[in-house]
Homo-oligomer: A and B are copies of this chain.
Amino acid sequence: MNVGVVGASGYSGETLVKLLLGHPLVTLGAVTSRQHVGKPLAQVIPALRGADRGLRFVDSNAAALAASDIELFFLALPHGAAATFAKPFIAAGKKVIDLSADFRIADLATYTRYYGDHQAPELLAQARYVLPELAPADWKRFPIVAAPGCYPTSILVPLAPLLRDGVVTREHIVANSFSGVSGAGRKVEGNYLFVERAESATAYGLLKHRHLAEIEEQLALHSGAPTVIQFNPHLAPMRRGIATTITVPAAPGANVENLYATWHNAYEGRPFIQLLPSGETPDTAFVTGTNRVDLSAVHDVRTGNIVITSALDNLLKGAGGQAVQIMNLWSGFPETTGLV
């Protein structure tokens, strides 16, 4: 299968390109970047020296790409731009896996509140939010798949089945996430300089982080009722990885055995979800470079809370790896093809 990556100059796009170059069942037919047109991939992504198969960046020309024989496009673009590109691709019958926010939120009003005007609201009905281990089975019928973001994946994977099964309450959910700096993207701003971020831990984006929109919409779907969470993101002085710790009151009568039973039911046989024994906590260092989410939980009888911990690589299961996993499932490839 011939696939393309539109907008490959960010960290997610770069990760996706590396994965697709190593994928045994697809051909990387086009990699676009306005900024880098004509340059060999390895000139912009030096990690690919000797391994870019002679590919060069092409212009981000939506019409030309739509007319090509590429069957599936990954969009690694800012929101807004993604929806704009999706239109001609969908019109031309292509499949789209979008890594931006444009198709992550089903409710247009919510999208607008967090991101402003939508560039292709008419396509929302053709899109599905696909966290592969959680999405309703019919998603493959839709031509646009929104790949979830990094923070949402670290929260939804552990929490969604517990809410669905009533193991935890829907009140007083608090999620604190600690993210590597690549989670902020390749922003050339003073705040992201090495000297500023090394030896620095800090919360940011309290109250208004954009990922809240998709987190709460998805939690509501799984819990069956509006669900509000306190989401406190932080930056940690590391390149990759997200560690998320969720505190939520246990439902009456629930305990850690119920909780693990729910997780086992939900994730039995899913290669990228690893359940750690209660008391052993996930560590970003152990998931970096993999497409896994590691999960664990304890029940604090003193407080009545469940404390859940998860870890993933924000550029893999939180971005490019998840997108490839979606492609694998969509195309009927083994789920782990080209992934670790």
Chain A contact residues, CB within 8 Å of chain B: 11, 22, 46-47, 49-51, 172, 174, 176, 178, 180-182, 186-190, 192-204, 206-207, 228-230, 232, 234, 236-243, 245, 247, 249, 271-272, 274, 276, 279, 281-290, 292, 294, 298, 300, 302-303, 305, 307, 309, 311, 340
Contacts of A180 in B (CB 8 A): 195, 199, 201
| Least Cβ–Cβ distance between A169 and chain B, in angstroms | 11
Copies in the complex: 4
Given contacts A176-B245, A202-B311, A234-B245, 11 further A-B contacts (CB under 8 A): A51-B290, A178-B201, A186-B190, A188-B188, A188-B189, A194-B197, A194-B237, A198-B237, A199-B238, A201-B241, A206-B309
- In the complex formed, the residue of B with least CB distance to A310 is B203
| Inter-chain contact B198/A284, CB cutoff 8 Å | no
| Inter-chain contact A289/B47, CB cutoff 8 Å | yes
Contacts of A182 in B (CB 8 A): 195
| Interchain CB contact (< 8 A) of A181 among B195, B203, B289 | B195
Instruction: Give A187 to B237 CA distance when docked, in angstroms.
Output: 19
Instruction: Give A117 to B197 CA distance when docked, in angstroms.
Output: 37
Q: Which of A206, A243, A274 has the largest count of B CB atoms less than 10 A from its CB?
A: A206
| Interchain CB contact (< 8 A) of A307 among B230, B282, B285, B309 | B230
Contacts of A279 in B (CB 8 A): 206
| Inter-chain contact B176/A232, CB cutoff 8 Å | yes
| Inter-chain contact B200/A230, CB cutoff 8 Å | no
Contacts of A281 in B (CB 8 A): 202-204, 206
| Inter-chain contact B237/A237, CB cutoff 8 Å | yes
